[in-house]
Amino acid sequence: MRVLALDHGAKRIGVAISDELKMIAQPLEFVPAEPFGAFASRLQQVLAEKPCELILVGMPRNMDGTFGPAAEKVRAFVARLKESVAVPVRTWDERLTSAQANRTLLQANVRRAERKQKVDAMAAAILLQSFLDAGEA
């Protein structure tokens, strides 16, 4: 079964999914972060279309490995998420995924306006691929 990854941001949540063999991550979409009810509804639709055994949420860390204010927001988001889905939820270090996603899109000559639309889902895919490559799935 698949793994779904979420890259939580203040405005948007990037969504990515693995293949059935849990080898390759691919970006799916981004969903507005607020209101949470609308996000949860869209997430339920995605899970109905593509059943998953795990939801992975990116946990922001400082470069020294400590947790900052952004991590507290993600912890609160994870707590709400666990109440709204039956799938297990786990966090994973997401340091530099957004920067890497932006670099990848720049190298692919994606226009600035399009990058803004794609960076969140791409960051979720990078997060998920690091999880899959670590053999955690």
Boundaries of every domain in the chain: 2-133
Bridge-based pairing of strands 2-8 and 52-59 is parallel
Superfamily of domain 2-133: YqgF/RNase H-like domain (3.30.420.140)
Residue 51 has what pLDDT?
94
Number of separate helices (H) and strands (E) present in the chain: 4, 5
CA 5/CA 13 separation, integer angstroms: 10
Where does the pLDDT of residue 95 fall: very low under 50, low under 70, confident under 90, or very high at 90 and above? low
Q: Is the pLDDT of residue 16 over 90?
A: yes
Residue 112 has what pLDDT?
75
- SS3 of residue 114 by DSSP: helix
For residues 123 and 16, the model is more confident at 16
Both tokens of 9, joined, read 């941001």
Model pTM? 0.86
Both tokens of 31, joined, read 């969903």
Both tokens of 112, joined, read 């600035």
